[in-house]
Amino acid sequence: MDIKLKNSRRRIIAFVFILILICSVGMVAAYPAFSREMQSGENDIIYEQSLTDICRDLENGNYILYNEVTGKADRALLQEQYGNSRFDLLRKYMDYEVFDSRGTAQLGTNSNSVLRNLKAKNTSYAFRVEFTFQNDGQISKVQVTGSKIDVQLQYEMEQNLLSMEPFPYQGVETPSDVQIVYGITGEKLNAYIKDSGDFEYLAVRGLAESEFYSTISIVLALIVACAAVCLTIKQRSIFEEKKIFAVPFEIVVTALGILAGMANFVAEMVLITINAKPNTLGTVVNIAANVVMWFVVFGIVFWGFACLGAMFTMKKAYWTERILCARIFRWLKKRKAKYGRGIKKKAGEIWNRTKHFCRKQYDMLLHLDFQDKTNRTILKIVLLNFVVLLIICSMWFYGIAALVIYSIVLFFFFKKYFKDIQSKYKLLLRATNRLAEGDLDSNFEADMGIFNPVQEELKKIQSGFKKAVEEEVKSERMKTELITNVSHDLKTPLTAIITYTDLLKTENDEEKRKEYIQILEQKSLRLKVLIEDLFEISKAASNNVTMNFMSVDIVDLLKQVGLEYDSKIKETNLDFRWSLPDHKIVLWLDSQKTYRIFENLIVNITKYAMPHTRVYVEMNELDDQVHISMKNVSAEELNFNTEEITDRFVRGDISRNTEGSGLGLAIAKSFAELQHGTLKISTDADLYKVEITFPVP
């Protein structure tokens, strides 16, 4: 008898295994048919749903575009009110225009060809929508056309758009007496669908809702379910002795419900396999993985309906023995006297833990950071709500009362939650008001809950305002110094010219007249150089310099500057140590501007370096740039700001005893930046260092 029972068990296990395996293989074998059906009907589903979503975004677009034309609503307000709309993304792909009652374009951003295309009724657009607004702001007409629109879809969209109630926010003007037209080409529509992130979702949805896929999956699931119920009835003894088939009703229903809820996930896995690139090894692995996936799915179906099949064998006993709530109630009733105190204590612990958990989750909601991914938080809320609703559903008729209680609890929860959010919002408003009033020293340290990220941004704004004020003060100081320095540097040679001109008028000695004329020539040339430098730096500051880029051997150019000023270097008793590459380094530069950079730097060294010291000039070729450095020991103490020394008319010689315009380093830095390079100055005690970099093409 035992041998027969064992053989019977083995046959049933083998039968179940083969049945589920056949269903799994059959499902996978139908993938090519699913693929063909998707290819024939996928685009229709995707386009229809996408165009329906676009219509909803265009409702917001009407208000955004109209207020951009009138200018009555601030852009910040529009961004605040309509920032969650996808119209900002959509408008990058669409042509659009606002026409007044005379048909004149108001935005002024479109070409004539685009305007003609938008106005034309028969157009090449895949999707075109025309809104006509009356004087009172009501939509009097909506016309939907396009190559992707059939008559049925056109009618449905027009009716939906006409039935949509406008919802302007406070401070946002309602469109009136205008015509707003949108158009998008087929190519841009495809690009928008893919970029908007809905393509994969719609493709999965299309597969899950396709007739052939749903029919095959449901039929195979029904075959497995019927087999499970029939085997449970016919082989009652075998199934009853297995604990895995004696699971409570609530758990079985929950498991089957979760499986049903994962239908889109399963469809997504199927779609990934269908769209996978053909590869011998990869194809085998994908097919095997999908067979396993469907084996698990049909296995859960078999297990669930085998558990539920006990309803037909146990009848009334099933509702007393297999209902979890009934079993818990009986267990509590039997052990009430014996374990009353223990249960009370345990219940108190559970209650305290529950309160602690709820407070923790509530605090998490109050401090939710929308900068991070919120999928996990949303999943927790959804799962918690699902569990509560599942419990309510399992209570049958009494679930209505439980649902009322649950709704009351939700009401008070949201009442408290929004009250706390309002208090945090008031803190945020007070902080922004203080900032708007010019209080840049307030500490934003209060806990603002969900607005904590905004608080951090306010701190950055506060810091930015402080920096801007400091920069403005610095700019005003620099302007004052600029005027003073320009006046001084222009006045000195000009005064000398006037003085020697007067002396020349009264001097009869020919030798002294020649001397005066020579001095006049020197001062005139000095004045000319100063004016040319001032003109040069003004053009550089306004980006009005004409650059003549060409291939330049920067090593040879630096050597030329050194040879040009060799005599002046020797006069200053400086020992220049050159460390330059032996090979050519050809860069894409303006030779004259680069020559001027090296010239200004070497002249600057000859003026301010300590005599009888060494000057180091080095050039190194790196991976993506050429680095040049010049180092010397200063004759005077270096007490200037290295960040300001390259500003106009700023000199290291604060007393301005030496001859110079204070423009040399400013010109050098401007010319370096115009050639996409950098010029930085650093000091270490009396060591003065200039570093120049140029990009390697």
Helix (H, G, I), strand (E, B) or coil at 137: coil
Q: Which single residue is written with the structure tokens 């301005």?
A: 656
DSSP letter for each residue of 389-405:
HHHHHTTGGGHHHHHHH
Residue 614, token pair as written in the block: 């060494």
- Taking CA atoms, 476 is separated from 26, 440, 483, 640, in Å, by 81, 20, 11, 18
pLDDT of residue 565: 85
pLDDT of residue 280: 56
Ramachandran angles phi, psi of 246, nearest 5°: -115, 30
- Nearest alpha carbon to residue 420 among 471, 369, 362: 362
Cα–Cα distance, 203 to 209 (Å, whole number): 10
Which residues are 695's β-sheet partners?
Answer: 625
Which of the residues in the chain have pLDDT under 70? 1-7, 38-47, 79, 81-84, 164-170, 196-203, 206, 277-282, 332-345, 347, 366-374, 395-399, 444-445, 475, 477-492, 526, 529-530, 532-544, 641-662
Residue 376, token pair as written in the block: 């996990």
pLDDT of residue 638: 79
| pTM score, whole prediction | 0.40
Helix (H, G, I), strand (E, B) or coil at 164: coil
Cα–Cα distance, 454 to 461 (Å, whole number): 10
Residue pair 172/78 in contact (Cβ under 8 Å)? The answer is yes
pLDDT of residue 654: 45
- Nearest alpha carbon to residue 54 among 179, 153, 136: 153
DSSP letter for each residue of 640-679:
S-TTTTTSTT--S-TT--S---S-HHHHHHHHHHHTT-EE
Q: How far apart are the first and last CA of the chain?
A: 90
Cα–Cα distance, 130 to 15 (Å, whole number): 63
- Name the DSSP letter for residue 371: T
Q: Which single residue is written with the structure tokens 């001084």?
A: 488
Residue 22, token pair as written in the block: 């056949």
Cα–Cα distance, 635 to 609 (Å, whole number): 5
SS3 track for 48-116: HHHHHHHHHHHHHHHHHHHHHHHCCCCHHHHHHHHCCCCHHHHCCCCEEEEECCCCCECCCCCCHHHHH
**Cα radius of gyration rounded to whole Å, the chain:** 41
Q: Which secondary structure element, helix H or strand E, spans residue 578, and what is its range?
A: strand 575-579
For Cα atoms 370, 374, 378, give the angle at the middle one, nearest 5 degrees. 130
CB atoms near residue 353 (< 10 Å): 10
pLDDT of residue 620: 93
Residue pair 267/204 in contact (Cβ under 8 Å)? The answer is yes
Q: Which single residue is written with the structure tokens 């010019």?
A: 438
Angle between the 2-29 and 211-234 helix axes, to the nearest 10 degrees? 180
Helix (H, G, I), strand (E, B) or coil at 248: coil
Helix (H, G, I), strand (E, B) or coil at 620: strand
Cα–Cα distance, 608 to 617 (Å, whole number): 16
- The amino acid at 369: D
Residues 6+ apart with CB under 8 A from 419: none
- Domain residue extents for the chain: 46-196, 210-315, 545-695
Residue 648, token pair as written in the block: 């106009």
Cα–Cα distance, 497 to 522 (Å, whole number): 9
- Nearest alpha carbon to residue 186 among 93, 321, 116, 265: 93
Cα–Cα distance, 524 to 504 (Å, whole number): 15
- Nearest alpha carbon to residue 530 among 480, 479, 478, 486: 486
DSSP letter for each residue of 430-454:
HHHHHHHTT--S----S--GGGHHH
Residues 6+ apart with CB under 8 A from 272: none
Q: Characterize 197-211 residue by residue with b for buried, 16 or more Cβ atoms within 10 angstroms of its Cβ, and e for exposed.
A: ebeeebbbbbbbebe
Residue 584, token pair as written in the block: 């050519």
Residue 443, token pair as written in the block: 């500490």
Q: Which single residue is written with the structure tokens 């919120």?
A: 374
SS3 track for 593-620: HHHHHHHHHHHHHHHHECCCCEEEEEEE
CATH architecture of 545-695: 2-Layer Sandwich (3.30)
